[in-house]
Structure 1
């Protein structure tokens, strides 16, 4: 029976990092926290500001304002514009999308095995725990958006359960894990409430419109949006590598991390 339950989670496309339906994986992660607040971007380590960009052009590293030449200024502006657009959108997508993802897993479970199965309460508890963790890592209020750094977060309380052990090690709240979870959903099996999806699209379109139209096409599905954001983080990583080479003070600061850094064209 447990093999059947694991298959349910895989087919749902939102419970493991490599679901049967799509085998999609987003390998983007963050080494630091990022705050977008109005016209200010702060990169944080343990609540200490590592560097800050004001109005997408003024760069402060370790509290010191750097005088930039034209090339450096262009790199900072391009990078800050991208961060300023994508952080609020991914924050919203994660906090809203995790509810939809949890619902899809639970609905798939109950449709096949019913809510009286022995493992249902464990699954339900795991989903509630993950949603709580996401709301700690991804936070927003008015014009304040926070996306936290990546670190190992396992559901230790479920490791002694044959069903929950794989779930405990694959459902983390890193940026890459959340985008993997959402991006791997099989649209043929995942039914999103039309009102909720319209709300997500409307808000994401608003952020994109106020950020030089940086964002996924308005009518794309939830998985397509997640994949778009993952691809955009890869582009931002290329910008970051250029910026680090051009500005010595940033050389040792790596916000976005990939298995193998890619340079932008």
Structure 2
């Protein structure tokens, strides 16, 4: 099998397109997070414009606008339910989101490594912008999780449109450097250039199948979780309403918003 430079480019972009498409759930749960959240082992913070407005310590102590709110035993139980609902949902959602994008970026790097001995620096720089876009919405560290205010029913759009678009822009913008790198690598090696492209095409085909398999598993996982989140978030919304009756000042920082 012989593979020309044009054919190699075609295979390359076909792989990128396949890697950036995720399956969307047929039924979406129309839920929005009205505020950002930071979650650690001992603290939950609800943010408004980057400032902590609501803080829950150890799932049983509440501060609103920095003021301590005294709760009786029954009221504390509602607060604990609310904190548990947040912890049961948000960290896993952040994990799924960041794992999904890291998978996509890893796939791009594998493709480029299959074409040359090193990744062009311009591609690395562009992919850093993709990572920053992700971190604006989802972020995790060794001891915390962060999620920005956003529509959870449009997470698919974030990945299939915004992140996918940034990945394509990164690759298109660095294509020249990639091809130069490939050409230089071929010049420094012995053997027929056509056979080198043929070998590259075969390697890319193998990588493509593995990426497709991983993405199909990820899409199925996200679809299942989307349905689970809908039920959990509806329950969390009901708990939040009960807590707002107890502490009316919390209504100004309504976290879970269900759209009919």
| Interval of TM-score (by shorter of Structure 1 and Structure 2) | 0.5 to 0.7
Partner of 1:177: 154
TM-fit CA distance, 1:64: 0.8
- Superposed CA deviations along residues 31-83 of structure 1, whole A, max 9, x for unmatched, are 11100012100001112111100010000001011110222111100000121
Written as runs of structure 1 = structure 2, the 5 A alignment for 1:236-247 is 236-247=236-247
| TM-score (ref. length: structure 1) | 0.55
Q: 1:193 to 1:250 in 2, by over 3 A?
A: closer
Q: 1:57 to 1:78 in 2, by over 3 A?
A: same
Partner of 1:26: 29
| TM-score (ref. length: structure 2) | 0.56
Q: How many residues align?
A: 177
Q: 1:177 to 1:128 in 2, by over 3 A?
A: farther
- Name the SS for the 1:25 alignment partner: coil
Partner of 1:63: 66
- Name the SS for the 1:251 alignment partner: helix
Q: Is the deviation greater in 92-101 or in 39-48?
A: 92-101
Q: 1:44 to 1:56 in 2, by over 3 A?
A: same
Rounded to whole Å, the distance in 2 between the matches of 1:221 and 1:98 is 14
Does 1:192 pair with 2:169? no
Aligned residues of 2:29 and 2:226 also touching (Cα < 8 A): no
Rounded to whole Å, the distance in 2 between the matches of 1:101 and 1:177 is 19
Written as runs of structure 1 = structure 2, the 5 A alignment for 1:15-164 is 22-99=25-102, 132-150=132-150
Higher helix share: 2
Greater RCO, 1 or 2 (C-alpha within 8 Å, sep 6+): 2
TM-fit CA distance, 1:180: 7.4
CA RMSD of aligned residues (A): 3.7
TM-fit CA distance, 1:241: 1.1
Rounded to whole Å, the distance in 1 between the matches of 2:228 and 2:106 is 23
TM-fit CA distance, 1:257: 1.0
Unaligned runs of 5+ in 2: 1-16, 109-126, 160-211
Name segments (4+ residues, structure 1) moved above 4 Å.
Answer: 99-104, 127-132, 179-182
